[in-house]
Amino acid sequence: MQRIIAVYILLLAGMLSMTGQTPEERYTRAGELYGSGDYSGAAAIYRQLYDEGYRSEDILFNAGNAFFKSGDNASAIVFYERAKLLAPADEDIDYNLQIARSRITDRFETVPQLFFVKWFDFLSLLASTNVWAVAALAMFVAALILVLIFLTKSRARGRLLSFWLFLAALVLSVFMILLAIRNNSLVNNSNRAVITCSIVTGRSAPGETGNELFVLHSGTTVTIEQELGSFLEVRLPDGNKGWIRSDCMEKI
């Protein structure tokens, strides 16, 4: 009985030591571990913070570095990709992601994105979903106020100006809503995933019976098309599709 209590106390102490610290303290601790060379320890703390819902480009970038240094290239790519969604213009993230990607086994002829899609995505990632949403709402209210101004103006010049301003505000508002939706779909409902198994077979049907179509290695980024049970239909960077076990990938 005493032993059980002792074990319980030990467990409790262990939990306290893990959760008793503030997130900031744990973040700093992870940085120290990284500096001293304990990369997997640092990676574990970063991942825990991520799982608890803490988000910032710094956490994600550091987590990617820790995973990269501890040898888990696939997780490193996942976290770099996540960091890139929060800071699309960050040069360090791009650089590290490029190094991590250079160690991937699979090579693809990637179909380049259309330039305006790329620009639109980049623009949508410059601010968070909620910033875009609030801005869109503010712009909408501004448009409505301009309507009222338009109605009270009796002179032709004032009416024309207020009309065009109203139109611009309305278009901007709609555009910002679109950006917010795009940002949300990229950041929060990403359909992209990174293969984490060292090797996995893509089949023509969900299940273990489908014909084998291709073999993927860890670190390759795929796009999820649909889900059926524990299988996901993914699209490869070169456009091919196949079914892969869902436990072999991590969503970005």
Give the footprint of other proteins on this chain (CB under 8 A). 23-24, 27-28, 31, 34, 49, 52-59, 61-62, 65-66, 68-69, 92, 95-96, 99-100, 129-130, 133-134, 137, 140-141, 144, 147-148, 151, 177, 180-181, 184, 188
Q: Give the shortest CB-114-to-other proteins separation in angstroms.
A: 24
- Copy the structure tokens of residue 169: 């505000």
Q: Give the shortest CB-165-to-other proteins separation in angstroms.
A: 15
User: Does the CA dihedral 216-219-222-228 come out positive or negative?
Assistant: positive
How far is residue 215's CA from residue 199's CA, in Å, rounded to a whole number?
Answer: 7
Q: What is the per-residue DSSP string for 149-214?
A: HHHH--SHHHHHHHHHHHHHHHHHHHHHHHHHHHHHHHHTS--EEEE-SSEEEEESSSSSSSPEEE
- 76 touches 65 (CB < 8 A): yes
Cβ proximity to other proteins: between 52 and 212 the closer is: 52
Cβ proximity to other proteins: between 169 and 216 the closer is: 169
Cβ proximity to other proteins: between 149 and 168 the closer is: 149
- In single-letter form, the type of residue at position 99 comes to I
Q: Give the shortest CB-152-to-other proteins separation in angstroms.
A: 8
**C-beta neighbour count of 219 within 10 angstroms:** 23
Radius of gyration of the chain (CA): 24
Cβ proximity to other proteins: between 78 and 236 the closer is: 78
Cβ proximity to other proteins: between 34 and 243 the closer is: 34
Of residues 22, 21, 39, 20, the one with CA closest to residue 30: 39
Q: Give the shortest CB-190-to-other proteins separation in angstroms.
A: 13
Q: Give the shortest CB-195-to-other proteins separation in angstroms.
A: 20
Q: Give the shortest CB-225-to-other proteins separation in angstroms.
A: 22
Of residues 195, 201, 206, 197, the one with CA closest to residue 229: 206
Cβ proximity to other proteins: between 88 and 210 the closer is: 88
